[in-house]
Each structure stands twice: as C-alpha cells, then as structure tokens.
Structure 1
Amino acid sequence: MFGEPLMATCWTSAGDAASDRADLRSPVPLRTRVEAAAAAGFRGFGLLSADLPAAMRAHGGFDGVRALFEENGITHVELEDVPAWWSDDGPERETADAVRDLLLAAAPALGARHIKVTPDGTGAPWYPARWAARFGDLAARAADSGVRLGIEFFPWSNIATLADGLRLVEAAGHDNAGVIIDVWHTERGGTPVADLAAVPVERIIGVELNDADRTVVGTLFEDTVHRRRYCGDGDFDLTGAIASLRRAGWRGPWGVEILSDEHRALDVATACRRAFDTADAVLTAAAG
C-alpha cells in the first residue's frame, strides 16, 4: 500500500451525479460518501459547493460536517467550486459572491487545505487582465480564511493548458494561488510528462489521477465526463507523470478523480474501493 495520502475528489464519491447536468448535487448522503471513502482507504475528501448546504443541514452546520470527517480519519479536505468567479455584475456575480462567501466560511471551519476553482468552458470571450485581477482577489480572500486557491485548467476552455494556468497564477500576483494538475487535462492538452517536473512545487495546490483511452470519443468534455478510466486501465503514462511530479517535490495528497458512466453505475462503496485500489497500485508501482 502506498504511503502518501489519497483524496477522493468530489465526483469519485458522488454516485449518480455528473458535471454535465443542470443539477450538480450528489443523490448520496454525505455520511454514506465519507464512510465509503474512508473504508476504501482515502484520507482526503472533496466536497462540491452545490453539496455543501445539504451537508450542513444534515449534520447541524460546519461543526457537524467536520466531526464526520474526523470520525472517519479524513485529514485533507478540498472544497470546489465558485461558479463564474470571473463575472463582473448581475445575477451571475451575485451567485458567485454567495458561493464564494460560503466556501470561505466553510474552509477554516472544516479544516480545508484548499479551494479549487475552474475556468470558463463555454467559449465566451474572456479578458485576461480582468481574470487575473479577479483570481488575485479570490486568492487574497482565501488567504484570509487560511486556505489556498487552485485553478484547474481544462483543454476545451480559455485556460486550456498547464502553461495557461501558470500564466494566470503569475498574473494574479498572489503567493496563495496555484494550479490543480489533473493528469487527464495534461494528457489531453498535450503537456509532455517531463514538463511536470519543472512546475514549482509551491505552485502545485493539488494533483488528480485518473486514466483514459488513447482516442477521444465525442467532444473533450463528453469524453472527460463519460469515459474516464480507473488508474492503470487506460493509455496514460501515469507512472511517468507521478515520477515527474515527485521530482517537482509533490508528496501528496494525491487526488483520485473518476468520472465515467461505468463508475456512476456502481454503488458508492464499490466505486470508492475500486478508485482507491487502482490508484494505490499505480502509485506503488511508480514509487518502486
């Protein structure tokens, strides 16, 4: 068994939920998810902002959610996502601010290590200077809450590559900001595995492992939501990516993010166990 902690990112334990649906909420109670992840061996847990209000209601607020994590040996918590955090005004801005404030309040209360945000994948025009200012402001607010901020890049979005993500972070000008490196996105975005070793470790907020077939089916977004593979079941050079990230200085937690029709069809306990065991095997092989 690999020695460094593994984190079940939000979709890995969410059951029949997916990021291409209008309603992002998991149908599975938080207790079931946390207990399944912990029983599988995970010591980290990711929680989507859409699921946080129901979690608070079910467990009596932040203290109850934190107690659930502690009872199950969860020591690394990731919070995700602030929708349209880059927007300027109107209802979209109001929604973004409300979710932002909820996550910033939740982060210290739950002992979160970081907040993950994502880019705009709609193809709408974007303005780099405005985005950098917004991201820098969000990073500063996160620092005030004692939590780091990471941007996850998507190959179909305006922040398409690792290089794009690092440019945004540098332009934001805040030491509290960095990137979330999901190997699906580096592979599909054409980032050479060797380049991962050159990322400054202080800019790596999180790492996410998964796998996929060599050929993309449908759009990149459809492929990532419906056809990811468990670690070692696809064609990615996962051991190479892990070795490069270790050379960069990363020592975990190692997130495991599985989105697929196959994964969603399983009961949560089985899904978490399979996600953990396959990632653990690849990490052990890469360490050997």
Structure 2
Amino acid sequence: MGTSEGALVMWGACLHNHDLLTRAECLRPAGFDAMTAFVTDVAEAEAHWGSLAAVHRELTAREARVNCVDVYLGWYPGHDPEAVAGAAAELLRASESDLLRYASELGAEFVSLGAPFWGEPAPLARVVDALGSFTDRAAALGIRPHLEISNGSHVSTVALAVELLAAVGRPTLGLVLDTYNISRAGGVPADVDAVPHERIFQIQLVDGATEPVRDRFYDSLHHRELPGEGELPVEDFLRRIAAKGPLPPIGPEIFNDRLVAMPPLEAATACADATRAMVRHATGGRP
C-alpha cells in the first residue's frame, strides 16, 4: 500500500542520533504518518532482532510504517561503495542486494538514490543505462526509486535530474525534491516548474542560512534548519510544487545539533509542527 498524498514523513535525519525503534516510538505521538530508515538503521536493527521479519513486527507494534530506505549510490557507473571513506562511509556503503531486501521486507514503497560527490562524472549514456537497469530491478519488487539532487554531486541540478528521468523513460523512477540541497547547489524555486508533477515522489522541506556554516558538508550535517526558521526560499518551492496538484508525501530532513540535544519526542514534535505550519501557510491548508 503506497504512502497517501500529502502524508507527513519523518526522515531519518531528524532523529539520526537515535536507533530505528526509538524513532518509531516517536512517530505517531509527534503526528507523523510514516518514516524513513537509513540503510545502517536497518542493518543494525536486523542484527539486534535477528531478522527483518522481527524488525517489521517491532515497527508494526509501534504503528510505524517505513516508506523509504535511504540512501544508495552504488547504481552510479564506476562507483564502488566499498571505497567510500570518512564520516558517511557506513551510510553510503550499502549494497544493492541489501538495499532492495531491506525495502522489500519492510514494505517500503521507495528507495532513495544519490550520486557520488567524488571522481569524474560518467558519460550520460552510461548513467541513463545504469539508472534504467536499477529502476527495472526495483520495479520487479514493487519498489520505486527516487533520485535526489545534491550540491556537489554528479546530479546537482534539477535540469540534469529531469533530463535523466526523460532519458530513462520509466514511470517508476522519480525525484525527491529537497529544498535545502537544491538551494545549496545554486537552484531556485522556479527550477521545479520543469519537473512533471507525477515524477515528484516525495518532498523534503529543509531550511538553512543563506550561506553555509564552514563548508557544505559540515553545514548539511549540523546546521540544517526547520522549515520557516532559516533564510532559504522553502515556501516558494512548496507553493510552486503545490500549484501542480496534490502534494506527494512530504517531510523534514533536518540534521541539526539542537535537535540532537533534545529528547527524541520533543525533537520529532518540533519537526512535525514546523512542517505542518509551512504546508498550511503555503497551501491554505490543503494537503
């Protein structure tokens, strides 16, 4: 069963310092409809509970639905997940088999795809072939991939992402639009006008300062802001997307040191409240 239109989704970043089931316990009390899981979350939960079936039971007992497993870079031609180093290494080293197994057994509708931040970009034709092949393998399991535009990655503009969607030509491939990442890559709200409505699978509402703190990676992992609490044109992005039709699943993806210092339910509630307020203000209350 797919995530309903306008469903409020808690992305893993919001409570990234807590384990999967702690986050799940906060989901409904904070007012979220669904949540996402990092690949590392699922791996750790599976190791603790002994099987993904057991993890699924624990999530169900908490009325927590995982709608997306996040994030996978291994689809990109020439990228070796095992070669990733640094703070994000564990998060970015997922294998395709694990990613699809996690999503399938947890009943997730989506998997989130990123592009590498290092190395030379692959030729467009190779990227299209690789993305199409991965999309077909995911579709065979009833899973829809969505590609994320990220500053500094090999897919850093809305225009390139739209070009890839058109070239791949699979309706089961779409985009997750992150207002922070698009803005940090130099994008503007008008850019989303070019994205077909049916290809916007999810929205991440994320704010921030006009200029990043220290550098883009540090800022992204410590200084994202709740929607409406920064200086980025988050509401304009949302208005333009809402003008296309009903909103897809939408939620905050907030890595922020203030949230880390809060009790988990308090942090989750702050994220939910800010997101709902932004949606109401931008759309006049409609989902």
| 2:145 is equivalent to residue 117 of structure 1 | no
Counterpart of 2:260 (choices 254, 257, 264) is 264
Counterpart of 1:9 (choices 4, 8, 11) is 11
Letter in 2 for 1:258: I
RMSD, aligned CA: 2.5
> What is residue 153 of structure 1 aligned with on the other side?
149
| 2:171 is equivalent to residue 175 of structure 1 | yes
Q: CA-to-partner distance for each residue in 1:69-114, whole Å, 9 max, x for gaps? A: 3333334511112243224487849x99972112212223222111
Q: Report matched runs for 1:30-49 at 5 Å.
A: 30-49=20-39
| 2:65 is equivalent to residue 69 of structure 1 | no
Counterpart of 2:68 (choices 78, 81, 85) is 78
CA contact (8 A) 1:198 1:248 kept: no
Unmatched 5+ stretches in structure 1: 16-27
Equivalent position SS for 2:60: helix
> What is residue 20 of structure 1 aligned with on the other side?
none
Letter in 1 for 2:35: F
CA contact (8 A) 1:210 1:228 kept: yes
> What is residue 248 of structure 1 aligned with on the other side?
244
Letter in 2 for 1:61: S
Unmatched 5+ stretches in structure 2: 84-89
Equivalent position SS for 1:179: strand
CA contact (8 A) 1:13 1:37 kept: no
Letter in 2 for 1:51: D
- % same residue: 26
TM-score, length-normalised on structure 1? 0.85
Please report how far the alpha carbon of residue 37 of structure 1 lies from its aligned counterpart in structure 2 after TM superposition: 2.5
CA contact (8 A) 1:178 1:204 kept: yes
Counterpart of 1:235 (choices 221, 231, 242) is 231
Structure 1 residues 248 and 37 mapped into 2: Cα distance closer, same or farther (>3 Å)? same
Q: Higher mean Cα deviation, 171-180 or 59-68?
A: 59-68
> What is residue 87 of structure 2 aligned with on the other side?
none
Determine the C-alpha separation between the residues in 2 that align with 1:31 and 1:53: 13
